[in-house]
Amino acid sequence: MNNTRIYVESTLAIIKPDAVDKEVEIEEIILRSGFSIVQRRKLQLSPEQASEFYAAHSGKMYYPTLTAHLCSGPLVAMMLNRQSAIKQWNDLLGPSDSEKAKETHPKSLRAIYGTDKIKNAFHGSDCFNTAERELTFMFPNVTIEPFPAGQAAEDYLSKFVNPTLLIGLTEMCQQKPAKPIIWLADWLLAHNPNRPSIKEGEVQEPPECTF
């Protein structure tokens, strides 16, 4: 019997204000790349929240511009899951400087949607500890842990995922939406029986939060 255990990671993905108008096609790319969008929120940060989010960069010359851009308009924050999610997401993003990405990684997301080092269209957590902090920042009630694969994962899917997925697929076939992948992703988010109780207008946020 094979006892090898593969773990699914969670990471934070942000579509920054300069690329948020392309959110639908970007999310399609994310799903086609093997990620699951477990949580998703469209929000606008205050300057104080943007400063707190990028606190690790405090003191660097680009810090004021970095934080100002993050709160310059609406953004989309997503919790992505897949095996090696942190590395896979950063590989998909490419170099942080979009100008360099266009030369060295022309097919990366930052090369396609970004402009320069600040307006680079995306953010991705760089390690597990950072992902945990950033996901908790964006989704206060989220639970972050690796999920085992193999037989344990098959048992989990059979018991908790497949029944809901079957209902969603059946309804999708009946409705025949123009964008079935996006429709199914939205349906699963809305009908996930195990999701945390995070609903619009009901989330308890920190003081002065504008999420």
Secondary structure (3-state) at 82: strand
Q: Which residues contact 129 (CB under 8 A, 6 or more apart)?
A: none
Query: Could you report the per-residue pLDDT of 68-107, keeping only the tens digit for each?
Result: 999 999 999 999 999 899 999 999 999 999 999 999 999 9
Cα distance between residue 61 and residue 72, in whole Å: 19
Catalytic residue among 69, 105, 123, 191: 123
pLDDT value for 194: 55
Query: Could you report the per-residue pLDDT of 25-72, keeping only the tens digit for each?
Result: 999 999 999 999 999 999 999 999 999 999 999 999 999 999 999 999
105 carries an active-site annotation? no
The answer to whether 146 touches 153, Cβ cutoff 8 Å, is no
101: Cα separation from own chain's centroid: 21
Q: Which residues contact 31 (CB under 8 A, 6 or more apart)?
A: 37, 181, 182, 185
- Helix pair 23-32, 180-191: axis angle to 10 deg: 90
